[in-house]
């Protein structure tokens, strides 16, 4: 993966499983700007730009993180996964498949954050109950009010992922 943007510092990291080296990335660029503008990864969305809505969520070393407030250079050498790397048509991540099954979207702008936050939760706790899911997603805002459908989708994904987890453990 290569790109150029005519600024000062080189940057090396892993994005969606691929080594990514750029010759020059502005010191002040956020991870969100870097992903969207330099790599063309438009799954993460710009909502508030203040770390308060969750629309820009990605995974950094498996942990959900708000890419609008993380400097791109702050993740040098680390492993970043965006919505594009989580799954794709024909091989959806269970959380993405559950959102599709539950029709959990209106405008869809918040969905990147909801899906990435939920996927990180269920990766570390596939048995997460409703209260745990509500707590985890409480900082992700949906201006369309699709919260009930989103909760339904994540609970569906939890059922599937916990069953799969138990099959592997058997
Ligand atoms: S755009 Fe990053 S938290 Fe709102
Ligand atoms: S579906 Fe529109 S912001 Fe959530």
pLDDT tens, residue by residue, 21-80: 999 999 999 999 999 999 999 999 999 999 999 999 999 999 999 999 999 999 999 999
Give the chain's length: 170
**Residues in the ligand 2 pocket, defined by CB under 6 Å:** 105-110, 142-144, 146
Q: What is the Cα–Cα distance from 79 to 66, expressed in whole angstroms?
A: 14
Each residue's pLDDT tens digit, 63-106: 999 999 999 999 999 999 999 999 988 999 999 999 999 999 99
CATH number for the domain spanning 101: value is: 1.10.150.120
Does 3 reside within a domain? no
Domain span including residue 118:
94-169
Q: What is the Cα–Cα distance from 112 to 131, expressed in whole angstroms?
A: 21
Among residues 66, 86, 106, the one where a domain terminates is 86
The Å distance, Cα 166 to ligand 1 centre, comes to 35
Residue 39 token pair: 């790599």
Ligand with an atom nearest the CA of residue 55: 1
Q: What is the Cα–Cα distance from 155 to 58, expressed in whole angstroms?
A: 21
The Å distance, Cα 135 to ligand 2 centre, comes to 18
Does 39 reside within a domain? yes
Does 37 reside within a domain? yes
């Amino acid at each position: 993966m290569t790109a150029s943007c005519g600024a000062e510092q080189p940057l090396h990291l892993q994005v969606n499983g691929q080594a990514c080296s750029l010759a020059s990335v502005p010191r002040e660029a956020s991870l969100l700007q870097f992903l969207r503008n330099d790599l063309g990864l438009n799954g993460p969305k710009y909502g508030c730009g203040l770390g308060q809505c969750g629309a820009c969520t990605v995974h950094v070393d498996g942990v959900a993180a708000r890419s609008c407030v993380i400097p791109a250079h702050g993740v040098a050498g680390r492993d970043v996964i965006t919505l594009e790397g989580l799954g794709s048509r024909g091989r959806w991540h269970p959380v993405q498949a559950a959102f599709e099954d539950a029709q959990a979207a209106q405008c869809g702008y918040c969905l990147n954050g909801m899906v990435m936050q939920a996927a990180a939760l269920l990766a570390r706790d596939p048995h997460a109950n409703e209260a745990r899911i509500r707590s985890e997603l409480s900082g992700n805002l949906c201006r369309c009010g699709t919260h009930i459908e989103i909760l339904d989708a994540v609970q569906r994904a939890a059922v599937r992922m916990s069953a799969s987890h138990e099959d592997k453990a058997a």
